[in-house]
């Protein structure tokens, strides 16, 4: 796993295209990249996204109930977008924003 | 249930989880004062104190202050050592060594915050606590540090604009009033007895300042790191400070600290130190885990219940009976924490201003 950056750095990087992303899509991609394919790995990645959101770096713009069970059936899915504060912190972490 | 209700529920669940972590932190932190007190009477620390305090054996104890300080340094260093062992096992069990390596490599953007936090948390707060335990007593050490949320929340507010609601501010205020009741009560009794241990009170102040500053700095690093990993890195930093800088410096000053460090590897002292490491290590894990969920101010506020827990545990296990000021202050601490917990959190999505 050479060259991987800390998980939250990578999460901010994925959001730094300023597009809106669903949490389940991001989690799925991260699971592949970091080889965290267990349920524990999935929940722990989702928790990292939650932490970024509560820290004000991501903002939830849309939510829907996971009717089809693409992530966890009956739970809420969130669509997030990076905030200005998130961009600042991302550039602190030497990501692409300058 | 419509989506808005579900969202509210989810938010509430998140906040409750944060409060739960903070409460666990308070329990474990309170328990920590038991090994923190017992260790002073366990070999070789008891003999170490006597030998340094009374080098001629004349029973004059002319170097008692220096002895207490040096023993406090060695105990703090061992405390850091057992904590990092507990945390490495914890991170191993969670499979987070990979993430730890990745975070350590990012020194400039990220792990520097944890090293900075270790300076304030370790040689300032933890040493200050042991100094307060050594000079005044564990009950005092526990409640003296109760003031740290003021420093933590004010710093977090001015530095990175963390929101403090009126309700949270009120809760913090009541907790502080409780802390002050306990603190001033003890100090007044000592002053009237004509024998006040000023260094011990300075230790109590070091603990309050150190932990408050650490919390605010840690909040900054936690923005972009995982808490379990962050706390382990913070204790790696603290171990380096103790074992590479401070303990050798004390040895160079002529104190036989290394001899006693080696002598500390006996079953009883390892048992007590391990107890301290486990309670303190996991109290820190819980503390750091609560910050991203409920914010530094609230995390520290609820964590503050440790003062009450410590007083109860000291009474149950070491038969140290609290003064009435301690009971009144403790009750205020509980009240203040409930003021904070009962806040309606369903609408609160982020803890920061945009």
Q: Containing H/E element for B165?
A: none
In a domain, B126, yes or no: yes
pLDDT at A91: 75
Position B353 pLDDT exceeds 50: no
In a domain, A11, yes or no: yes
**Cβ atoms of residues B75 and B45 within 8 Å:** yes
CATH at A16: 1.10.10.10
In a domain, A44, yes or no: yes
Query: How far A33 CA sits from the closest chain B CA (Å)?
Result: 13
Position B57 pLDDT exceeds 80: no
pLDDT at B291: 74
Structure tokens that stand for B138 in this block: 């564990």
Position B103 pLDDT exceeds 70: yes
In a domain, B275, yes or no: yes
Q: Containing H/E element for B2?
A: none
CA-nearest residue to B353 within chain A is: A56
DSSP sequence for chain A: -TTPPPHHHHHHHHHTT---EEHHHHHHHHHHHHT--SHHHHHHHHHHHHHHHHTTSEEEEEEEE-SS-SSSTTSEEEEEEE-HHHHHHHHHTT-S--
Q: Which residue has the higher pLDDT, B79 or A67?
A: B79
Is A54's CB within 8 Å of B354's CB?
no
CA-nearest residue to A35 within chain B is: B98
Is A9's CB within 8 Å of B226's CB?
no
Q: Percent helix, strand, coil in chain B (nearest 5)? A: 80, 0, 15
CA-nearest residue to A10 within chain B is: B224
pLDDT at B12: 84
Domains identified in chain A, total number: 1
In a domain, B248, yes or no: yes
Averaged pLDDT for residues B209-238: 83
CA triplet A88, A94, A96: central angle to 5 degrees? 80
For residue A6, the chain B residues in CB contact (below 8 A) are 99, 102-103, 106, 110, 224-226, 229
In a domain, A49, yes or no: yes
pLDDT at B297: 66
Find which of B114, B156, B224 to mutate to test the A interface (most A CBs within 10 Å of its CB): B224
Mean pLDDT lowest among B17-31, B181-195, B202-216, B235-249: B181-195
Across the interface, of B109, B349, B351, the residue whose CB is closest to A92 is B109
Is A63's CB within 8 Å of B3's CB?
yes
Find which of A6, A13, A53 to mutate to test the B interface (most B CBs within 10 Å of its CB): A6
pLDDT at B87: 94
pLDDT at B252: 92
Please enumerate, as own/partner, the contacts of B160-167 that have beta carbons within 8 Å and a separation of 24 or more: B160/B219, B160/B220, B160/B352, B161/B352, B161/B353, B162/B219, B162/B295, B162/B296, B162/B297, B162/B351, B162/B352, B163/B295, B163/B351, B163/B352, B163/B353, B164/B297, B165/B343, B167/B339, B167/B340, B167/B343
pLDDT interval class at B89 (50, 70, 90) = very high
pLDDT at B266: 92
Position B344 pLDDT exceeds 80: no
pLDDT at B333: 77
Is B106's CB within 8 Å of A9's CB?
yes
A27 vs A6: CA distance, rounded Å: 15
pLDDT at A98: 35
Mean pLDDT lowest among B3-7, B195-199, B207-211: B195-199
CA-nearest residue to A74 within chain B is: B6
Is A8's CB within 8 Å of B10's CB?
no
Position B352 pLDDT exceeds 60: no
pLDDT at B349: 47
pLDDT at A2: 47
Q: Which residue has the higher pLDDT, A30 or B7?
A: A30
pLDDT at B282: 92
Average pLDDT, chain B: 82
End-to-end CA separation in angstroms for chain B? 30
Q: Which residue has the higher pLDDT, B34 or B221?
A: B34
Query: How far B292 CA sits from the closest chain A CA (Å)?
Result: 6
Averaged pLDDT for residues B92-116: 83
Q: Which residue has the higher pLDDT, B350 or A90?
A: A90
Find which of A14, A33, A50, A56 to mutate to test the B interface (most B CBs within 10 Å of its CB): A56
pLDDT in tens, B248-306: 999 998 888 888 989 889 999 999 999 999 999 999 888 878 877 887 667 777 787 88
A79 vs B303: CA distance, rounded Å: 32
Position B143 pLDDT exceeds 80: no
**Domain span including residue B219:** 11-341
Position B330 pLDDT exceeds 90: no
In a domain, A1, yes or no: no
Please state the ipTM of this predicted complex. Answer: 0.83
In a domain, B252, yes or no: yes
In a domain, A82, yes or no: yes
Query: How far B285 CA sits from the closest chain A CA (Å)?
Result: 15
pLDDT in tens, B111-123: 777 888 888 888 8
Q: Write the DSSP symbol of residue B58.
A: S
**Domain span including residue A60:** 7-92
The residues on B that touch A, with CB distances below 8 Å, are: 3, 6-7, 10, 14, 94, 98-99, 102-103, 106, 108-110, 222-226, 229, 292-293, 349-354
For residue B97, the chain A residues in CB contact (below 8 A) are none
Domains identified in chain B, total number: 1
For residue B263, the SS3 value is helix
For residue A85, the chain B residues in CB contact (below 8 A) are 352, 354
Q: Which residue has the higher pLDDT, B181 or A23?
A: A23
Kind of pairing between the strands at A76-82 and A58-65: antiparallel
Low-confidence ranges of chain A (pLDDT < 50): 1-2, 96-98
For residue B38, the SS3 value is helix
Please enumerate, as own/partner, the contacts of B193-197 that have beta carbons within 8 Å and a separation of 24 or more: B197/B135, B197/B136
Is A4's CB within 8 Å of B102's CB?
yes
pLDDT at A93: 62
Is B14's CB within 8 Å of A50's CB?
yes
Is B351's CB within 8 Å of A56's CB?
yes
Find which of B5, B105, B112, B223 to mutate to test the A interface (most A CBs within 10 Å of its CB): B223
pLDDT at B354: 36
In a domain, B115, yes or no: yes
Prior bond of B40 cis (ω within 30°): no
Strand partners for A81:
A59
């Amino acid at each position: 796993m050479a060259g991987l950056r800390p998980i939250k750095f990578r999460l901010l990087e994925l959001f730094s295209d300023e597009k809106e992303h669903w949490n389940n899509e991001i989690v799925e991609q991260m699971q592949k990249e970091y080889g965290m394919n267990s349920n524990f790995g999935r929940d722990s990645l989702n928790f990292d996204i939650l932490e970024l959101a509560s820290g004000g770096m991501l903002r939830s713009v849309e939510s829907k109930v996971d009717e089809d069970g693409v992530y966890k059936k009956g739970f809420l899915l969130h669509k997030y977008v990076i905030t200005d504060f998130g961009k600042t912190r991302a550039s602190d972490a030497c990501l692409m924003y300058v | 249930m419509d989506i808005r209700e579900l969202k509210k529920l989810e938010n509430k669940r998140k906040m409750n989880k944060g409060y739960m972590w903070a409460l666990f932190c308070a329990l474990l932190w309170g328990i920590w004062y038991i090994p923190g007190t017992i260790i002073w009477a366990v070999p070789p620390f008891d003999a170490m104190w006597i030998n340094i305090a009374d080098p001629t054996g004349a029973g004059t104890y002319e170097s008692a202050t220096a002895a207490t300080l040096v023993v406090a340094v060695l105990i703090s260093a061992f405390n850091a050592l057992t904590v990092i062992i507990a945390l490495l096992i914890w991170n191993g069990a969670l499979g987070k060594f990979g993430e730890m390596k990745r975070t350590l490599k990012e020194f400039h953007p990220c792990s520097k915050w944890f090293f900075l936090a270790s300076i304030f948390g370790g040689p300032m707060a933890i040493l200050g606590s042991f100094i307060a335990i050594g000079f005044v007593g564990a009950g005092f050490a526990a409640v003296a540090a109760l003031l740290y949320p003021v420093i933590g929340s004010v710093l977090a507010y001015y530095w990175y604009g963390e929101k403090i609601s009126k309700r949270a501010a009120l809760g913090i205020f009541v907790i502080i009033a409780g802390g002050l009741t306990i603190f001033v009560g003890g100090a007044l009794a000592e002053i009237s007895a004509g024998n006040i241990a000023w260094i011990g009170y300075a230790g109590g102040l070091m603990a309050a300042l150190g932990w408050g500053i650490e919390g605010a700095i840690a909040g900054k690093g936690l923005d972009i790191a995982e808490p379990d990993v962050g706390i382990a890195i913070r204790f790696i930093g603290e171990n380096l400070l103790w074992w590479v800088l401070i303990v050798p410096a004390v040895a160079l000053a002529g104190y036989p600290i290394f001899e006693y460090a080696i002598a500390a590897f006996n079953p009883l002292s390892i048992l007590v130190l391990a107890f301290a490491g486990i309670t303190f290590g996991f109290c820190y894990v819980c503390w750091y885990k609560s910050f991203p969920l409920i914010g530094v101010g609230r995390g520290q506020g609820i964590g503050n219940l440790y003062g009450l827990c410590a007083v109860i545990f000291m009474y149950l296990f070491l038969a140290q009976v609290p003064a009435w000021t301690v009971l009144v202050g403790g009750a205020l601490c509980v009240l203040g924490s409930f003021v904070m917990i009962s806040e309606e959190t369903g609408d609160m999505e982020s803890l920061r201003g945009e």
